[in-house]
A and B are shown apart, each in its own frame.
Chain A
Amino acid sequence: MTVTNHTTPPRFVRADGPDKVTGSGRYTADLTLTGALAAKFKYADVTHARITKLDVTTAQAMPGVFAVLTQADVPDVKFGPFVQDRTLFANDVVRYEGEVIAAVAAVDAATAQRAVDAIVVEYDALPVVNDIEAALSPDSPLVHADWADYGSTLIRDRNDASFASIAKGDVDAGMAAADHVVRSRYVADGCHAAPIEPRAVVAQWEGNKVTIWTSTQVPFDARAGVCETLELPNNRVRIIVPHLGGGFGGKCGFHYEAHIAALARAAKRPVRLVFSRREEFLAPDRRREGIVYDFETGVKSDGTIVARRAWLALDNGAYTADAGFFSQLAAMHALGPYRIPNALVEAHLVYTNHQPSGSVRAPTAPQTCWALESHTDEVARAVGMDPVAFRKLNAVDTGAEGPSGQTYGEIGIQQCIDAAAAGAGYGQELPDDEAIGVAIGWWPSFSVPSGAYVKIDGDGSGQIITGAQECGTGAVMTLRQLVADELGMDAENFELVYQDTSVAPYDMGATGSQTLFNNGRAVIAAAGQIAEQLRNLAAEHLEASPADIVLADGVASVAGSPDRGVPIAELAGIAAGGELLIGHGSGTPPGAPPIVGAVCVGDLGMAAWVAPQFSCHAVRVKLDRDTGVARILHVSAAHDSGTIINPVGATGQVEGAVLMGIGQALTEGTTYDADGRQRNAAMLEYKLQTCADAPPIDVHFIQINTPDAGPRGAKGLAEAPNVATAAAISNAIAQIVGTPIRQLPMTAERVWEALAGQHVVNETVAV
């Protein structure tokens, strides 16, 4: 185990970097195809209503309009990865403002918009479900009156679209044995991924096959959605992703590819959709879920946690996108990386008439870590313990049993706490308007199938043909290094061919921090086949045994006799005249670890984690007491994500995620009006952090060569650094204010209200 501080990381040039920096890179919205039409959508604009009239005849008759589609024009398919609760276009009832009712293809965007405006829709209003908790009441109006008829394997009841619980030990007995019981309530507002590139889709049919260029993080998932809803086989749908202008989870899932493919088929022309910023905010079923939390923790006077009870209600929004597993995932984050012998967490994923929730970078984690870790500081305070010492005492460790009954191999959470606290100068004397807050977090690695090919041509140059998708993390870029190392060649020898479902084998996409973890395994396996070919060729050439051939520095040589060698490029030339150098790889994903002693209702495999990642963030905050404005002075982020293969990329992931975490902590939150419409669906009113706001960020990696993980013991890293920042900020603010801010984001006004004594006081019960 080594602790490395990569403040001056070695040079690593991304293969896609020059394109993006110089502006020569092409994104989906840049594509032009001869005869292409512009697409525009007709949105519901109301949040809950029954459609009584939908008339597109005027729109269809307008000059320049080539196609107008509604649900009547596409197969009658209900889809959804966890609950099949929606159709491509609104069918009878609309359930959120950004729901698509109809789509138009016309000669240009202005004509398409005029046609959209000419579509006549009339409604009977239905009662709006706007409050997560009220939606669980037995007398709440239903978002889906036909919920019981939907296909699903989740545990559901009326507006509760996915119930999950994790139970271990005897929580009542645990609470009874506690010296102190601390109860608190927290509320997290929803927020957005807000990628800088609003999404775009271009579709073109050739015969009975369609090619779709789309700004997705998950090309194979997008293909699956098109095939399901338009009833096409996989091999007639080709998804290509040009450069992707960021995703942050917001471009996971299947979105508008089928709408545009259907439009292109009806119009008999290529069709292009480019979202406005406002559409990007309102329409996609991907925004971070708001959650309501009630926590109760029993603790001994010596600081040992003996019991945890938690109740969570998550805002599912109007449809269940990939949020089906969020209830169990949030339940795990409500337990946190702590040794808790007696626990009961219950989590509900609740339908409302809001935009649907979906995977945004570490779904459920930043806000649940914020709530749990804020609560944890309250618990530490109740027993008079220092927050860092309290975490050191109660956090899991190598060989310890976690709160869901999983026992961990070698992990580095304790080292993360030490490194983050030391990096922040924790314990130093500070001005009375400053404080350092500390929080710990965790995140799973996702073990899934993945594939790749590698080939080396006659000139010795290679290509990696991978199903993996690049969303800005640089994970795909790192694949070149893995292949080069396997073959004793230079990474610059390899070009990447990626983001094309008809060319490369399956990969889950830029989601779940899984690219390096799984596709790394695949490319190493593929390169390994070529390595074997090269060793056989070299053995023949050098009259040695293949087992003695070493591939290094572009040369195949005999072990122990470095002067007996042949350049790999020369072997490639020989192979070009015989058996070609082609490798394919997938490898076996590591299996899920066992859990012992816990009972999970609504289990979706989220209670035990392969190669779990751990983190600790320590953040120094300065607070303007007169206004409630918090300024982040310094962040110290320590991560156990296993072996770090590309330190530049890894450090960038942490820095970006920390800045995103600061935004979630302080300024990023969706507000709704009384009808469930977003009030701040614009970049001016939905405030992302800017470079000018970025504090110094120290990154510490606790590198453990983790077994049953990715290549060389690497875990994931794309989401983990987004988990603990907001929580650490909360704990710093709470020290200065004297009480936690109980709603996320902790806006300046909310902090000011807390300073003015208008907060809700939590209840501490001395037993």
Chain B
Amino acid sequence: MSFLIAQSVDEVLAALAAGARPIAGGTDLVVGARHGKAALPEALVAIDRLSELKAITETSHGVIIGALVTHHDIESHPLLTTVYAGLADGSALVGSPSTRHLGTLGGNIMNGSPAMDTGAALQVLGAEVELRSTAGSRRVPIASLWARPGQTTAAADELCIAIHIPKPEGSSGSAYLRLEYRRAMEIAVVGAGASVTLGDDGAVAALSVALTAVAPIILGLTDLQSVLGLGIADAAAAVQQLASAQATPISDVRASDRYRRHTVGVMARRAVEAAARRASGEVISTPVNRSIGIGAAS
């Protein structure tokens, strides 16, 4: 087994081209190996020291989040916890404090789990993923990154460099909620992210919803045109119906398909409601799971 501590992105790309796999926080790779999910790759290239991948950069178009930005960075960042609050809602729920200090956003999306807590928010925020190999760079919409559980459309020699999120327009807000059985060391039973833009009349002018852990990949909700122009409560209720209808959950030891189908609708409704409240200017602290509803301190 080989373990290369990379000093530059070029060094990483060369190692990937030679067949190595990247490791950053190791919160999926190492834990998975210990649990017998998959053995550690024969050749690893450690990317965790590449400071150029750790930046959060605000631009005139939006924000660029380096692949090595940790969940803790996100959950404590002034811009990401406000303008891009849905993402911070997700990062703040990941694992434990130590997981959030080690685990990176790039790792989370490249791991490709349909239960990832950042995926739905990134998708509704219209994020793109910047991938790079020795052959060059490309940007792909995040919805087309995921192929199936644990599998992305990135080539084996491509490294995730950054996540680009466009600046939300108008009166916009986002939120992510998950169904959880406990409040730390948890994985989403189901989850939903929503991005809402309100018109001047207070009705829903634009809307995007994505669902977590109810399909082989993060599931973007379709047929949302009928919801546009509705008031918030009606829109949220309509989204609940659409989410339950479009979800294709499985039954496993965590929940039955029936229960998942029902609760993902509830999460989607609440995500739309929270996103709309943020769009209207209300401050709901991240994560939404802890600040409103059943997770709130009563």
B-contacting residues of A (Cβ < 8 Å)? 434, 622, 624, 626-627, 629, 631, 633, 666-667, 671, 679-680, 682-685, 687-693, 747-749, 752
Contacts and interface: CB of A to CB of B under 8 A. Distances in A.
B181 interface: yes
A622 B294 CA distance: 7
Given A627-B263, A629-B294, A752-B262, A685 B184 contact: no
A748 B266 CA distance: 14
B259 A749 contact: yes
Contacts of B179: 627, 629, 748
Contact of A692 (B183, B266, B294): B183
A687 B298 contact: no
B35 interface: yes
B224 interface: no
A432 to B, nearest CB: 13
A667 B181 CA distance: 7
Contacts of B1: none
A705 to B, nearest CB: 39
Contact of A685 (B254, B266, B293): B254
Given A629-B179, A685-B253, A690 B294 contact: no
Contact of B35 (A622, A682, A689, A747): A682
Contacts of B259: 748-749, 752
Nearest to A633: B298
A689 B293 contact: no
A622 B298 contact: yes
Given A626-B266, A685-B254, A687-B186, 18 more contacts: A622-B294, A627-B266, A627-B294, A629-B181, A631-B294, A671-B253, A684-B185, A687-B181, A690-B182, A690-B185, A691-B184, A692-B182, A693-B182, A748-B181, A748-B259, A749-B256, A752-B259, A752-B262
Contacts of B294: 622, 624, 627, 629, 631
A693 B295 CA distance: 10
Contacts of B187: 684
A752 B262 CA distance: 10
Nearest to A683: B185
B253 A680 contact: yes
B73 to A, nearest CB: 20
B255 interface: yes
B89 to A, nearest CB: 16
B181 A747 contact: yes
Contacts of A666: 181
A747 B253 CA distance: 12
Contact of B182 (A434, A633, A671, A689): A689
Contacts, number: 57
Interface string B259-298: 1001100100000000000000000000000000111001
Contacts of B255: 749
A382 B31 CA distance: 52
A55 to B, nearest CB: 25
Nearest to A688: B182
B262 A690 contact: no
B298 A690 contact: no
Contacts of A626: 263, 266
Interface of B: 35, 179-187, 253-256, 259, 262-263, 266, 293-295, 298
Give me the 7 closest cross-chain CB pairs, A-B, nearest first: A624-B294, A692-B184, A692-B183, A690-B184, A626-B266, A749-B259, A679-B253
Contacts of A688: 182
A679 B254 CA distance: 10
Contacts of A434: 298
23 contacts: A434-B298, A622-B298, A624-B294, A626-B266, A627-B179, A629-B294, A631-B294, A667-B182, A682-B35, A684-B187, A687-B182, A689-B182, A690-B183, A692-B182, A692-B183, A692-B184, A693-B182, A693-B183, A693-B184, A747-B181, A749-B255, A749-B259, A752-B259
A680 B253 CA distance: 7
A688 B186 CA distance: 10
B23 to A, nearest CB: 21
A710 B294 CA distance: 44
Contacts of A683: 185
A306 B186 CA distance: 47
B211 to A, nearest CB: 15
Contacts of B182: 667, 687-690, 692-693
B29 to A, nearest CB: 16
Nearest to A748: B181
A693 B262 CA distance: 24
A686 to B, nearest CB: 9
A631 B295 contact: yes
A629 B255 CA distance: 13
Nearest to B262: A752
Nearest to A679: B253
Nearest to B295: A631
A749 B254 CA distance: 9
Which of B35, B182, B293 has most A Cβ within 10 Å? Answer: B182
Contacts of A752: 259, 262-263
A434 B293 CA distance: 13
Nearest to A678: B253
Nearest to A685: B253
A629 B182 CA distance: 10
A682 B34 CA distance: 12
A665 to B, nearest CB: 12
Residue among A671, A684, A691 with most chain B CB within 10 A: A684
Nearest to A694: B183
A749 B253 CA distance: 11
Contacts of B181: 629, 666-667, 687, 747-748
Contacts of A629: 179-181, 294
A191 to B, nearest CB: 14
Contacts of B298: 434, 622, 631, 633
A624 B183 contact: no
A449 B79 CA distance: 66
Contacts of A633: 298
Contacts of A679: 253
Contacts of B183: 690, 692-693
A692 to B, nearest CB: 4
Contact of B293 (A624, A684, A687, A691): A624
Contacts of B256: 749
A684 B186 CA distance: 7
Contacts of B263: 626-627, 752
Nearest to A671: B253
Nearest to A749: B259
A46 to B, nearest CB: 19
A748 B253 CA distance: 13
Contacts of A684: 185, 187
A570 B262 CA distance: 77
Nearest to B269: A626
B27 to A, nearest CB: 13
Contacts of A693: 182-184
Residue of A666, A683, A752 ringed by the most chain B CB atoms within 10 A: A752
Nearest to A627: B263
A682 B32 CA distance: 12
Contacts of A749: 255-256, 259
Nearest to A624: B294
